[in-house]
A = this chain, B = another copy of it.
Amino acid sequence: MANLEVKIHDLILKNPVMTASGTFGNGTEFDDFFDVNTLGGILLKGTTLHHREGNDYPRMAETPSGMLNAVGLQNKGIDYFCEHIYPKVKEYSTNVIVNVNGSTIEEYIELAARVNELNHIAAIELNISCPNVKQGGMAFGTSCPMAEQVTKAVRKVYHKTLIVKLSPNVTNIAEIAKGVEGQGANAVSLINTFLGMAVNAETRKPVLSTITGGLSGPAIKPIALRMVWQVAQAVKIPVIGMGGIASTSDALEFIIAGASAVQIGTANFIDPTLCVKIIEGINDYCERHKIKSISELIGSLQL
């Protein structure tokens, strides 16, 4: 066994494989498939201050090697979370991270403060990149000053590991990463989905109820990998990479490009046991290449 342990600020992950928010429910949905505690960490689904019904159906369109979603942060709100979900997920021995979403800075602050009280939540992932909500969301993640502002505000009330999740729908993602680093983010995770669209040519209507949605899956991997590489060079804090990871090789490519850990998203839908296979695959790779610790691999791209 190679040493797969990585550190993301105060967080110790026993391996670099986590799940992406919105693609892993609250973890319990995977209990039938494998022991969730084997993961480096899990990202719970996007939580907001108040209950949200999300967008109307249809919320999904298949695309070449990818999919569009327009879920729109359907969730029961932070009160329900504290009362009904937290008691379950706090029993996990792996790192449990809450993905928080606001439509205003005040909402982000309030949410972060609430989550700060929960002992067994190791970190928050500040989602400033959701393309599927009318207010807030991506607006915060596509403007450097706004990204800085929300990070700064949350930093004041949140005292554990603060991860900021970046939007790829920008000209210069490294600039935004540096911006939030400057405001106290302990790590950045990237990428969230690309804003995309699907049209039904026969009916001449958009496929999604919201017209546009977020593109995820292997289709976006080459762009995600480039962004992770650029950001890893620009910041000193750890980078958590994601976007289209569907195999051990994909995960390793992100790590080699500079990611300290990875998140698996859409690929969970196709193979619910993929995360376990990737953890094993990374270990095999390390043994085959005589790599004692995964840390040797992070950012080891040879130019």
Q: Which residues of A contact B (CB under 8 A)?
A: 61, 63-66, 68, 142-143, 169-171, 194-199, 201, 203-206, 211-212, 215, 217-223, 225-226, 229, 244, 246, 249, 252-253, 256-257, 285, 300-303
Contacts and interface: CB of A to CB of B under 8 A. Distances in A.
A252 to B, nearest CB: 4
Chain A interface SS verdict (over half): mixed
A170 to B, nearest CB: 5
Copies per assembly: 2
A198 to B, nearest CB: 6
B257 A197 contact: yes
B223 A195 contact: yes
Given A194-B223, A204-B302, A303-B211, A199 B256 contact: yes
Residue from A194, A198, A201, A252 whose CB has the most chain B CB atoms within 10 Å: A201
Given A66-B222, A253-B201, A256-B204, A171 B142 contact: yes
Closest 10 CB pairs of A and B: A196-B222, A64-B218, A219-B219, A197-B226, A65-B65, A64-B65, A201-B252, A199-B253, A63-B222, A197-B225
B65 A226 contact: no
A222 to B, nearest CB: 3
Contacts of A225: 196-199
